[in-house]
Structure 1
């Protein structure tokens, strides 16, 4: 695989750490900036909304820029937002910086997805995507726990500074690894007009793949976001086991996206036909045995493996289905991921607010996954047809 892919994954790791670490910093932020914890939680919502809206907007705005320039600009804006966030004493300004960093993150990921798939042969999109998304899974294993520990020891502002500093090697990596013509083909000068690329959204195959990506990712984030109270209250484990559970989920995610990346190009039907029912079964089993600590930790690892294995395979289908939108396809995949990332926790919070118990988010994950499985059964071979055509 090209060196440039690993440089893109480094940047995704930094951005993923920033996205997920905030959950452990909200109480400290609320206390220092004199707002309620619920109000501080708007920082997470603002980031998710910025990611959903930012992917297509940023991709459309910069579609005629060289990919390397777009990636560097997004990284610099992302770093600058964290510098301002680290210094501001005003919550409203911190909220604005989270929206800006989300827009930069979304723009970077949208362009990175499109660029990554053009750095490899047409039948290796899945493997390229697995390397790129490994940055996110490594962030859950190492970056997020490290950020939380740093914030606890030296204050939440230190964590923001650390993210800004980590952007420096990421920028250097993009400058070195991505050439001016990366992601471009001989016909790039004749790429479709924006209207033509947007019209791809009317294709049933693309709509199907995006919907499935949102459902699978929604279920994953519904359960992942509210895993801590399940560990400490339902299973009766100490707070230290929350970090263990998150690391186990991250390790499973890394293995899942890595293995799926080697299978999803040539055997996407097998990955989805086997992995999706297992993912559904796993969520149901997790809800049923959540009070047993050993079984809980094992299933958290398994669900990390299955959710990212199935999820990354579905998102690869988005990129195949959006082959007629070379500059916007990555934004469609990013939007699908983040619609799920925003809706899943919201549905999980609704389940908790309605008094359904601490396991409500896991049952919501089961429901979303069940809907996805039914759609896959009804879709037949339509979802994997694009991959088969690319492998001919």
Structure 2
């Protein structure tokens, strides 16, 4: 794989760590800024909202910019937002920096998803996306636990400063590794800016009229919703249902992250040419796995292996569906990545919200796991048309 892909993955690692790290930092932030933990939780909602809105918005703004400049700029904005957040003592300003960081994250990921597909030969798009998304999975393995430890020892601000510092090598790698090509543009008769390939923004947005594209985006969002419904509430399952100490929460999260890394790595080699195989294998296993995890969660010997397996299956299926989004949106080369990013984050935001409603019911801490299973049960029959998905088309530059 080309060196620039690894730099893009490093930036995704920093951004993924930022997205997930707040779960372990909220009490410290709430105490330091004199707000309740519930109010501090708005930081997570602000980031999710910024990601969903920011993906298409930032991609549309950056479509006429040189790819290297836009990616470099998004990383610098992300870095600056974390530096400002680390320095502030005003909760409202901190919340604003989270929105700005999310917008930069969304813009970066939308452009990076499309860029990754152009850095590799035809037929290796899935592997390129798997490498890019491995930055997110590595964030759950190392970034989030590491940030939690750093925050515990040196305070939450140290974690924000560390993420800002981590952006520096990623920015340098993007600046030196990616070619400085500037897209050529021309003016259409109706006044709309065209890329050199003749596609206007209006034409690219018109791809959203495709029922097949919208269907794949919906499936990707549902699978991601199932993934984050269970992942977000693993901590109370470990400490409550399984009766283990707080230290074991980090173990469970790391196992889920390790499984997700394995899942995207294996699926990346198959998602281009055999997406039907990935869907046919992982879908039914996920449908069995989430309820099994709910039933066996009180037994640590079963809990931890199942957490690893669910992470692997969830990210294998999710990354395959996101690859299909890029294929289906091949006629929207500058916006395809934003469609995939929006689908990913709609699920990441919606799944935990639905799962949280079950915590006060008779299902208790196991409710989110049942929600994950239900979401997969709804999604699985709808994936059948994808068995005939074409694999020869490829996202353009």
TM-score, normalized by the shorter chain, greater than 0.5: yes
RMSD: 1.7
TM-score normalised by structure 2 residue count: 0.95
Aligned equivalent of 2:209: 202
C-alpha distance in structure 2 between counterparts of 1:168 and 1:205, whole Å: 39
TM-score normalised by structure 1 residue count: 0.96
Alignment partner of 2:365: what SS? coil
Aligned counterpart for 1:254 among listed residues 248, 257, 261: 261
Higher helix share: 1
Q: How many residues align structurally?
A: 387
1:213-362 aligned at under 5 Å gives the runs: 213-354=220-361, 356-362=363-369
1:81-120 aligned at under 5 Å gives the runs: 81-120=81-120
Indicate whether 1:30 and 2:30 are aligned: yes
Is the CA contact (8 Å cut-off) linking 1:114 and 1:183 kept in structure 2? no
Alignment partner of 1:352: what SS? coil
Change (3 A) 1:182 1:66: closer
Is the CA contact (8 Å cut-off) linking 2:53 and 2:342 kept in structure 1? yes
Is the CA contact (8 Å cut-off) linking 2:293 and 2:369 kept in structure 1? yes
1:279 Cα deviation (Å)?
A: 1.1
Aligned equivalent of 1:363: 370
C-alpha distance in structure 2 between counterparts of 1:302 and 1:71, whole Å: 34
C-alpha distance in structure 2 between counterparts of 1:117 and 1:47, whole Å: 26
1:381 Cα deviation (Å)?
A: 3.4
Change (3 A) 1:326 1:191: farther
Deviation track 1:21-52 (CA, whole Å, cap 9, x = no partner) reads 11100000001111111110010011011000
Indicate whether 1:381 and 2:383 are aligned: no
C-alpha distance in structure 2 between counterparts of 1:324 and 1:213, whole Å: 19
Change (3 A) 1:89 1:224: same
Aligned equivalent of 1:47: 47
Is the CA contact (8 Å cut-off) linking 1:191 and 1:326 kept in structure 2? no
> Where in structure 1 do 4 or more consecutive aligned residues deviate above 2 Å?
181-184, 353-356, 379-382, 388-391
Aligned equivalent of 2:157: 157
Aligned equivalent of 1:60: 60
Change (3 A) 1:197 1:301: same
C-alpha distance in structure 2 between counterparts of 1:70 and 1:390, whole Å: 22
Aligned equivalent of 1:136: 136
Indicate whether 1:5 and 2:5 are aligned: yes
Is the CA contact (8 Å cut-off) linking 2:228 and 2:352 kept in structure 1? yes
Is the CA contact (8 Å cut-off) linking 2:275 and 2:387 kept in structure 1? no
1:266 Cα deviation (Å)?
A: 1.1
C-alpha distance in structure 2 between counterparts of 1:64 and 1:234, whole Å: 52
Deviation track 1:179-199 (CA, whole Å, cap 9, x = no partner) reads 112999xx9612410111001
Deviation track 1:294-313 (CA, whole Å, cap 9, x = no partner) reads 10000000001000011000
Deviation track 1:75-98 (CA, whole Å, cap 9, x = no partner) reads 111011001100111101000000
Is the CA contact (8 Å cut-off) linking 2:330 and 2:393 kept in structure 1? no
Where does the alignment leave 5 or more consecutive residues of structure 1 unmatched?
none
C-alpha distance in structure 2 between counterparts of 1:82 and 1:183, whole Å: 31
C-alpha distance in structure 2 between counterparts of 1:182 and 1:315, whole Å: 27
Where does the alignment leave 5 or more consecutive residues of structure 2 unmatched?
185-193
